[in-house]
Chains A and B, each alone.
Chain A
């Protein structure tokens, strides 16, 4: 793709104005995303799981499988409903918090959301048909009505992430006289950051949803429930999550190399690399000291960063000093989030390897109680890694909302009083989270 030519700095389409509440706007958006994204994981991955279990029922006629599929589909519908509303909040917030961003660039990236709207529609329709059709549709037709859910779940996240990819790798428009002109929507949609982001998120959906559901049944297993129902639930969710987790490491490597090439400053923030360095070392842990411009108290492994980022131990890695200080993201937030994601992701991949190798050699689950305890912990940890990953990419893009084109402070609303909205939103989400957890506990107790 041809690099974007930005002749002049972008000016605000709606004419700017005072912007009192940038921090609150960013916090509200981050909070809403953090609430919505875990639900997206279930939208992506859970349908494939209950459809797989229904497939087992169709192959064997065993009612245990049907009971499990019915149960999961009901949970999925409730989570989908909550995802519908939290997703709606996100679309409202685009306008409520970032009117300048939407006014300038809605014409460029909006098409992806239009397609997402269609996917979302199809998902909602077939979700309803599937869950309410268990009694009266024939088994085969019923199974078929589940397939559009799986496809539209993927298509929906594909479209949304295409927009996020575009924010990191903007294209498909020109800036002339401070105005966004000549939008080329399809070019914007198929940007270079889209592919790895889509697959990274898609796999994350399977890892997160798989380990969370597996955790519920793993707890039951530890309490001594060893019947076919629990065994099936465990093996199915674990096989999805445990096979996806190691693959996620490979896709993560692809993502990191792509960031190295397109957003070197973001990579430098991941690693706390102040100066452009040949044969850069990788530092585990520690804190980035802004005054001294280096990571303190970390464990340094020579040449590893160059090796990981460029697959060459002596490659030159661009440092933060390649751009002026006002164009750098907050290093410690990004770096801590990145290390959290990588650390947990590696742990989950190892857990997956234990599961897979045990099955390979013995055709059964591991016997150690520690394995099941680890699975119980893996769900929440996967969730932490998911959120940390989004913090890595979103905060790592700062101070830009559209990378190197529009600064976040240019995008925000001029409306005052966001503090009130922020407090209200926090309370509402706390209520929502406790409601959902209450419901999931009740459903889990029912078995």
Chain B
């Protein structure tokens, strides 16, 4: 779970602090790992459709 944040942080550092092609490739890999890993964690089929409980009244401001 924490590893996607770690990937994002490492990716940002690699992308911003350096200029070489190698760090760019590694940085992009980390950032794409963050996106793909994040999507799989967030769109977890066990959690999908379980939102209704505890929702506040629809029409209240």
Which A residues have a C-beta under 8 Å from some C-beta of B? 52, 56, 59-60, 62, 64-65, 195, 199, 206, 224, 226-228, 231-232, 235-236, 239-240, 243-244, 246-247, 250-251, 253-254, 257, 311, 356, 359, 363-365, 367, 369
Assembly CA distance A130 to B57 (angstroms)? 40
Identify which of B31, B45, B49 contacts A59 (C-beta below 8 A): B45
Whether B28 pairs with A199 at a CB distance below 8 angstroms is yes
Identify which of B12, B42, B48 contacts A250 (C-beta below 8 A): B12
Do A228 and B48 contact each other (CB < 8 Å), given the known contacts A56-B43, A244-B35?
yes
Complex interface bits, B16-39 against A, C-beta within 8 A gives 1, otherwise 0: 100100001001100110110011
Assembly CA distance A379 to B48 (angstroms)? 22
Whether B45 pairs with A62 at a CB distance below 8 angstroms is yes
Assembly CA distance A363 to B54 (angstroms)? 13
Residue of B nearest to A250 (CB): B15
CB distance from B47 to the nearest CB of A (A): 6
Do A240 and B56 contact each other (CB < 8 Å), given the known contacts A59-B45, A227-B49?
no
Do A60 and B45 contact each other (CB < 8 Å), given the known contacts A239-B38, A243-B38, A250-B31?
yes
List B contacts of A64 (CB < 8 A).
49
- 3 pairs of A and B residues whose beta carbons are closest in the complex: A228-B49, A239-B42, A224-B58
Q: How large is the interface on B (under 10, 10 to 19, 20 to 34, 35 or more residues)?
A: 20 to 34
CB distance from B43 to the nearest CB of A (A): 5
Assembly CA distance A257 to B38 (angstroms)? 28
Residue of A nearest to B55 (CB): A226
Which B residues have a C-beta under 8 Å from some C-beta of A? 8, 11-12, 15-16, 19, 24, 27-28, 31-32, 34-35, 38-39, 42-43, 45, 47-49, 51-52, 55-56, 58-59, 61
Whether A247 pairs with B34 at a CB distance below 8 angstroms is yes
CB distance from A309 to the nearest CB of B (A): 13
Assembly CA distance A62 to B59 (angstroms)? 30
Assembly CA distance A240 to B42 (angstroms)? 10
Interface centre among B11, B27, B42, by most A CB within 10 Å?
A: B42
Assembly CA distance A227 to B58 (angstroms)? 13
List B contacts of A228 (CB < 8 A).
48-49
Main secondary structure of the interface of A (DSSP, over half): helix
List B contacts of A359 (CB < 8 A).
42
Identify which of A65, A226, A231, A356 contacts B38 (C-beta below 8 A): A356
Assembly CA distance A243 to B43 (angstroms)? 12
Residue of A nearest to B48 (CB): A232
Whether B43 pairs with A52 at a CB distance below 8 angstroms is yes
List A contacts of B8 (CB < 8 A).
246-247
Whether B51 pairs with A231 at a CB distance below 8 angstroms is yes
Residue of B nearest to A229 (CB): B49
15 further A-B pairs in the complex, CB-CB below 8 A; given A235-B47, A243-B35: A195-B24, A224-B58, A224-B59, A227-B49, A228-B49, A231-B48, A235-B43, A239-B38, A243-B34, A246-B8, A247-B11, A251-B28, A253-B16, A254-B15, A369-B61
CB distance from B32 to the nearest CB of A (A): 8
Do A239 and B39 contact each other (CB < 8 Å), given the known contacts A60-B45, A250-B31?
yes
List A contacts of B42 (CB < 8 A).
235, 239, 359
Assembly CA distance A239 to B61 (angstroms)? 26
Residue of B nearest to A206 (CB): B35
Residue of B nearest to A223 (CB): B58
Whether B61 pairs with A247 at a CB distance below 8 angstroms is no
Q: What are some 11 contacts across the A-B interface (CB < 8 A)?
A: A60-B45, A224-B58, A224-B59, A232-B48, A239-B43, A243-B35, A247-B32, A250-B27, A250-B31, A257-B19, A311-B16
List A contacts of B49 (CB < 8 A).
64, 227-228, 231-232
List A contacts of B61 (CB < 8 A).
369
